[in-house]
């Protein structure tokens, strides 16, 4: 029944969205000048005007809200009747033990809260690590507050609710409770695509996220607004329109970081890293640096308005606190906390054996699972593998590099073609395999066969793939930066679980050490134990701890 609602919402959204090209241009112009508007007319007046607009949106969407709630209630009764009163055919586990218990006995903030949580995730059907966070967050929220309604703002018009939930079940093995989750379809998702902003991309996408947020609020203002993609400007916009709506943000990667700024300078420690390495020279480079610094200031101010901030790693947490910390302290907001994303650790433990018997079946395969994007730095890994093979040590005999990744568009396809040419030039073509868009069963088979897991990205914000390597018992050789360095490939029981590298020579040395280890099984077992820190249960505990704070903030506004 909820599908009927989402379809009708999709059809009617244009009443409240950006119908006209002129309206869109006017809105973008206003948004672009917003910092100057705030400076000249004052924050209080901006909040007053924003609150007036927010009141108008609530009135205009009151009918839709009633319709959504009625359909959810009807769906829930039908769903419960079909299952004889059980909320799920698999009997959901009780997750109250994950909670912090901050609500007092009898207070509505515990299981009785029945408000609407709006999850802002325009690409919810992408099937990546960010989406696993979204669905794990929703199922934890549903279990903790059974009467709450979870609304997902998405731009995936080509799929309906049933198809999305089926994909969540098949891709992540997450069984959501259908009656209390629904989808509202956004018509302006193209505004946040990098391809829509060939110049001033950071600012352009941030402006686009405001347009997208307006689209979402024009459909339904929530009781709590949670951004799970890192669109900080959308959360800030929510605060202007709806002062009483608590906002939360789960940041996978800061839109801009101090490392990005320093990478523009070729003389800095990070000057040779990243896709913008050493681009801060000359007049154009200096202009780019000034633009980034100004954007960082604006980004910090917006981030200070968000009530609760979660990050996916220690690296992201430190950068967010570095940028936002001063302003958040000024506005009496708590610092960002790291809540590690959920990884299918338990599934990998069941599917991939790590034992003396399985060790006999392992091959000299170095496995790199990553999308074929520029920042994943496949060229570095190919060069390192070439250097490793050139040593002709016993470890190189029969060694193979296997690259598995998804291909999103023609740009990725061209990139794969160039990588194949590079493998040929490096004379390692016969020892390198490419597997594009491999299904999960195939990936599992390679995780069983491989001996080493590789990650070559500089400042990988977390590294779900690296956790999967560890859970499958692979010995990791990863870039000496970001999440893989700080959070994942760390000592267990005082002993290493993998190796770190930066240059191609260091990676080649890491390959040699990993494949030449006399007791690989011991390190595999340590790596698997280390991966237990990143289970879905651990994520649920962290998520609910922060979500409770948002619920209590909302209740304090209602009383």
Domain boundaries, the chain: 2-90+115-252+538-558, 345-534
- On whether the CB atoms of residues 543 and 310 are closer than 8 A, the answer is yes
CB contact at 8 A, 458 and 481: yes
Q: Is residue 46 pLDDT above 70, yes or no? A: yes
DSSP string, 419-475: HHHHHHHTT-GGGEEEEES--HHHHHHHHHH-SEEEE--TT-SS-HHHHHHHHTTPE
Calpha distance 217→245 (Å, rounded) = 12
- Average pLDDT, integer, range 13-35: 49
Instruction: Pick the most confident of 70-84, 232-246, 403-417.
Output: 232-246
User: Which residue is it, tokens 């995730």?
Assistant: 121
User: Using CA atoms, how far apart are residues 523 and 420, in angstroms rounded to an integer?
Assistant: 32
Alpha-carbon separation of residue 300 from 91, 117, 295, 339 (angstroms): 44, 25, 8, 21
Instruction: Provide the token pair at 3.
Output: 């599908």
Q: What is the band of 108 on the pLDDT scale with cuts at 50, 70, 90?
A: very low
pLDDT confidence of residue 39:
53
Measured in whole angstroms, how far is the alpha carbon of residue 134 from the centre of its chain? Answer: 8
pLDDT at 90: 44
In tens, the pLDDT along 508-543 reads: 999 999 999 999 999 999 999 999 999 999 999 999
Predicted pLDDT at 369:
94
Residues in the chain: 559
Geometric angle at alpha carbon 182, from 176 and 183, rounded to 5°: 120
- Quote the pLDDT of residue 396: 97
Pick 535 or 257 by higher pLDDT: 535
Least confident segment among 6-20, 69-83, 286-300? 6-20
Is the pLDDT at 214 greater than 80, yes or no? yes
- Residue 387 reports pLDDT greater than 80: yes
CA atoms within a 13 Å half-sphere pointing along the CA-CB vector of 530: 30
**Which whole number is the average pLDDT over 151-178?**
92
> Higher model confidence: residue 407 or residue 358?
358
Which pLDDT score is estimated for 14? 41
Q: Supply the mean pLDDT for the chain.
A: 86
pLDDT reported for residue 421: 97
Element containing residue 94 per DSSP (H, E): none
Region 206-220: mean pLDDT is: 95
pLDDT surpassing 60 at residue 443: yes
On the question of pLDDT at 35 being above 80, the answer is: no
What pLDDT was estimated at residue 100?
45
Q: What is the pLDDT of residue 147?
A: 94
**Angle between helices 62-82 and 43-60 in degrees, nearest 10:** 60
Separation CA 104–CA 83 (nearest Å): 32
Confidence category of residue 268, pLDDT binned at 50, 70, 90: low
Tell how strand 452-455 and strand 365-369 pair up. Answer: parallel
Q: Is 128 exposed, middle or buried (0-12, 13-18, 19+ CB in 10 A)?
A: middle
Which position has the higher pLDDT, 411 or 425?
425
Rounded to 5°, the CA angle 31-133-314 comes to 85
Alpha helix stretches (DSSP H) within 356-407: 356-359, 378-390
Query: What is the three-class DSSP state of 174?
Result: coil
Report d(CA 331, CA 327) in Å as an integer.
6
The secondary structure of residue 283, as a DSSP letter, is H
| CA distance linking residue 488 with residue 499, whole number of Å | 11
Fill in the DSSP letter of residue 185: E
Whether residue 289 has pLDDT greater than 90: no
pLDDT at 271 > cutoff 70: no
Residues 73 and 209: their CA atoms lie apart, in Å, by 31
| Residue 190 scores a pLDDT above 50 | yes
Instruction: Please provide the CATH number assigned to the domain covering 345-534.
Output: 3.40.50.2000
**Tokens, residue 389:** 């093979």
Q: What value does the mean pLDDT take over residues 27-35?
A: 53
Contact 288, 280 (CB under 8 A): yes
């Amino acid at each position: 029944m909820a599908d009927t609602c989402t379809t009708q919402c999709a059809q009617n959204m244009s009443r409240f969205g950006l119908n006209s090209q002129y309206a869109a241009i006017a809105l973008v112009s206003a948004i672009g000048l917003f910092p100057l508007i705030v400076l000249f007319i004052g924050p209080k007046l901006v909040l007053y005007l924003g609150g007036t607009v927010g009141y108008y949106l609530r009135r205009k969407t009151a009918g839709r809200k009633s319709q959504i709630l009625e359909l959810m209630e009807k769906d829930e009764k039908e769903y419960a009747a079909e299952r004889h009163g059980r909320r799920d055919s698999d009997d959901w586990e009780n997750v109250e033990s994950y909670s912090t218990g901050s609500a007092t006995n009898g207070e509505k903030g515990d299981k009785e809260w029945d408000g609407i949580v709006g999850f802002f995730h325009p690409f919810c059907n992408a099937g990546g690590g960010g989406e696993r966070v979204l669905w794990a967050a929703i199922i934890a929220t549903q279990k903790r507050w059974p009467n709450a309604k979870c609304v997902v703002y998405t731009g995936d018009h080509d799929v309906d609710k049933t198809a999305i939930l089926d994909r969540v079940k098949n891709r992540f093995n997450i069984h959501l409770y259908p009656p209390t989750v629904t989808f509202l379809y956004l018509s302006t998702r193209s505004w946040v695509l990098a391809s829509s902003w060939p110049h001033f991309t950071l600012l352009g996408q941030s402006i686009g996220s405001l347009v997208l947020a307006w689209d979402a609020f024009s459909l339904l203002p929530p009781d709590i607004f949670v951004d799970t993609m890192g669109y900080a400007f959308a959360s800030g916009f929510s605060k202007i329109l709806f002062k009483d709506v608590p906002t939360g943000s789960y940041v996978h990667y800061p839109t801009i970081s101090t490392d990005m700024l320093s990478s523009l300078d070729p003389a800095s420690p990070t000057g040779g890293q990243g896709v913008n390495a050493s681009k801060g020279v000359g007049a154009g480079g200096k202009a780019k640096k000034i633009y980034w610094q100004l954007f960082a200031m604006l980004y910090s101010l917006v981030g200070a308005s968000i009530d609760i901030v979660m990050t996916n790693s220690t690296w992201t947490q430190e950068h967010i606190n570095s940028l936002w910390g001063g302003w958040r302290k000024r506005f009496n907001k708590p610092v960002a906390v790291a809540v590690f994303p959920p990884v299918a650790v338990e599934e990998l433990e069941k599917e991939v054996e790590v034992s003396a018997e399985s060790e006999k079946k392992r091959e000299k395969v170095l496995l790199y699972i990553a999308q074929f994007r520029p920042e994943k730095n496949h060229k570095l890994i190919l060069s390192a593998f070439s250097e490793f093979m050139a040593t002709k040590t016993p470890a190189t005999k029969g060694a193979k590099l296997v690259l598995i990744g998804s291909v999103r568009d023609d740009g990725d396809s061209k990139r794969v073609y160039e990588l194949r040419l590079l493998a040929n030039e490096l004379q390692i073509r016969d020892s390198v395999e490419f597997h594009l868009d491999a299904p999960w069963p195939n990936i599992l088979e390679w995780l069983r066969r491989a001996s080493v897991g590789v990650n070559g990205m500089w400042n990988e914000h977390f590294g779900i793939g690296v956790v999967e390597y560890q859970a499958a018992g692979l010995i990791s050789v990863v870039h000496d930066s970001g999440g893989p360095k700080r959070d994942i490939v760390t000592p267990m029981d005082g002993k290493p679980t993998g190796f770190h590298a930066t240059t191609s020579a260091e990676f080649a040395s890491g390959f040699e050490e990993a494949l030449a280890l006399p007791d690989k099984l011991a390190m595999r077992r340590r790596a698997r134990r280390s991966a237990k820190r990143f289970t879905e249960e651990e994520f649920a505990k962290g998520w609910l701890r922060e979500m409770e704070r948002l619920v209590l903030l909302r209740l304090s506004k209602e009383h």
